[in-house]
Copies of this chain bind each other. A is one copy, B any other.
Amino acid sequence: MKAKREGGGNPGAAVVLLSGGMDSAVAGAWARAEGYAILALTVDYGQRHRVELEAARRVAAALGCRDHVVVQVDLRRFGGSALTADIPVPTGRNPHEMTDIPVTYVPARNTVFLALALGWAETLGAEDLFIGVNFLDYSGYPDCRPEYIEAFERMANLATKAGVEGKSRFRIHTPLIRVTKAEIVRRAAELGVDLSLTWSCYVPGPDGRPCGACDSCILRAKGFAEAGIPDPLAR
């Protein structure tokens, strides 16, 4: 299903936020399956698990992206998160207990990411943005919820020259927002995404392997288990 598109200087292209994790890899493959040429954007924000940046490069190459840009914004300058400051990452939590917003929440992270994606999209004349947020089996981050995404999209069309002049209508695509991690694993298989290229762990060990105990590892393991598919990264 090739999405129809009008106006803009880069018809058929979409900016895809690619973290190196499973969800954004599947969101990228989804965009590709819909017929978009992919302009991948990765943000090096000083994250503790910098190894995910290498995963993002592998995923971008596998997706056959038209371009892949890695932008640096050092959010450690602000801190406030276990991913950007000297705060321990929680381990061993039960997924059913992940109802609070954890200390791995990075203040305004998706807003910074989407703002950068919007700027690049407008420059390129693209009007479709993909972000792999999901709302089920997630870590409780507020900037993964549908009402947030809708508010960002509305703001984006008021923020931009292209939006105001009516040349473009920016759309934030969230193909995974209402699916479980198990469904994401299954869709990866359907879409031909090699999940061995992806990275999820927040605190990789000295051996360079996933810790298996942080929320991100636990949610990943839950997804593979429920999908009945072995994780190629599992110990």
Q: A residues near B, CB below 8 A?
A: 69, 71-75, 77-81, 101, 105-112, 114-116, 118-120, 122-124, 142-143, 145, 147-148, 151-152, 154-156, 158-161, 163-165
Each complex incorporates copies of this chain amounting to 2
B115 pairs with A111, CB closer than 8 A: yes
| C-alpha gap A34/B181 in the complex (Å) | 48
B158 pairs with A151, CB closer than 8 A: yes
| C-alpha gap A192/B11 in the complex (Å) | 51
Q: Which of B78, B101, B116 contacts A161 (CB 8 A)?
A: B101
Chain B residues near A114: list those with CB within 8 A: 115
Q: Which of B107, B119, B151, B155 contacts A75 (CB 8 A)?
A: B119
Q: Taking each of A72, A142, A156, which has the highest tally of chain B beta carbons within 10 Å of its own beta carbon?
A: A142
A69 pairs with B77, CB closer than 8 A: yes
Chain B residues near A115: list those with CB within 8 A: 108, 111-112, 114-115
| C-alpha gap A72/B44 in the complex (Å) | 12
Chain B residues near A79: list those with CB within 8 A: 123
Q: Which of B74, B156, B160 contacts A71 (CB 8 A)?
A: B74
Chain B residues near A118: list those with CB within 8 A: 107-108, 111
Least Cβ–Cβ distance between A53 and chain B, in angstroms: 15
A72 pairs with B74, CB closer than 8 A: yes
16 further A-B contacts with Cβ under 8 Å, apart from A112-B115, A151-B151, are A69-B77, A71-B74, A72-B72, A72-B73, A79-B123, A107-B118, A107-B119, A107-B122, A108-B118, A108-B160, A112-B112, A114-B115, A115-B115, A142-B163, A143-B160, A148-B159
Chain B residues near A163: list those with CB within 8 A: 142
Chain B residues near A108: list those with CB within 8 A: 115-116, 118-119, 122, 156, 159-160
